Amino acid sequence: MEDEGVTGRGIPVASARQSPAHASACASVESVFREERGRLLASLVHHFSDLDLAEDVASEAVEAALAHWPAEGVPARPGAWLLTTARRKAVDRLRRDQAYAARLAVLQVEADRAAPAPPPADAAGDLPDERLQLFFTRAHPALAAEDRTALTLRCLAGLTTPEVARALLVPAATMAQRIVRAKKKIRQARIPFRVPGADELPERLPGVLQVLYSIFTEGYAASSGPQLQRIDLAEEAIRLARILHRLMPAAREVDGLLGLMLLIHARHEARTGPDGELVLLEDQDRSRWDHTMIKEGCRLAVSALTGGPPGPYGVQAAIAALHDEAADLATTDWPQVVALYDVLLALAPSPVVELNRAVAVAMRDGPQAGLALLDALAGEPRLRGHHPYPAARGDLLHRLGRLPEAAAAYQEALDLAGTEPERAHLRRRLHTIEPPGPGDRADKTST
Using CB under 8 A as the criterion, which residues of the chain lie in contact with another protein when the complex forms?
Answer: 99, 102-103, 110-111, 113-114, 140, 142, 188-192, 194, 196
Helix, coil or strand: residue 90: helix
* CB-nearer residue toward another protein: 101 or 369: 101
Q: How far is the CB of 155 from another protein (least distance, A)?
A: 18
State how far the Cα of 9 lies from the Cα of 163, in Å rounded to an integer.
9
DSSP 330-381: TTS-HHHHHHHHHHHHHHS--HHHHHHHHHHHHHHH-HHHHHHHHHHTTT-G
* CB-nearer residue toward another protein: 28 or 108: 108
State how far the Cα of 201 lies from the Cα of 192, in Å rounded to an integer.
15
How many alpha carbons lie under 13 Å from residue 306 in its C-beta half-sphere?
8
* CB-nearer residue toward another protein: 27 or 105: 105
How many alpha carbons lie under 13 Å from residue 304 in its C-beta half-sphere?
26
* CB-nearer residue toward another protein: 143 or 222: 143
Q: How far is the CB of 86 from another protein (least distance, A)?
A: 24
- Residues 294 and 262 sit within 8 Å (Cβ to Cβ): yes
Q: How far is the CB of 257 from another protein (least distance, A)?
A: 24
- Residues 25 and 6 sit within 8 Å (Cβ to Cβ): no
Q: How far is the CB of 152 from another protein (least distance, A)?
A: 18
Q: How far is the CB of 178 from another protein (least distance, A)?
A: 19
Among positive and negative, which fits the CA dihedral 25, 150, 42, 238? negative
Q: How far is the CB of 185 from another protein (least distance, A)?
A: 9
* CB-nearer residue toward another protein: 189 or 403: 189
Q: How far is the CB of 371 from another protein (least distance, A)?
A: 41
- Residue 172's CB is within 10 A of a number of other CB atoms, namely 16
* CB-nearer residue toward another protein: 17 or 113: 113
Quick one: DSSP state of residue 20? H
State how far the Cα of 360 lies from the Cα of 341, in Å rounded to an integer.
9
Q: How far is the CB of 51 from another protein (least distance, A)?
A: 14
* CB-nearer residue toward another protein: 82 or 104: 104
**Helix, strand, coil % (nearest 5) of the chain?**
70, 0, 30
Cα dist from 410 to 197, 292, 303, 353, whole Å:
49, 36, 40, 21
* CB-nearer residue toward another protein: 108 or 336: 108
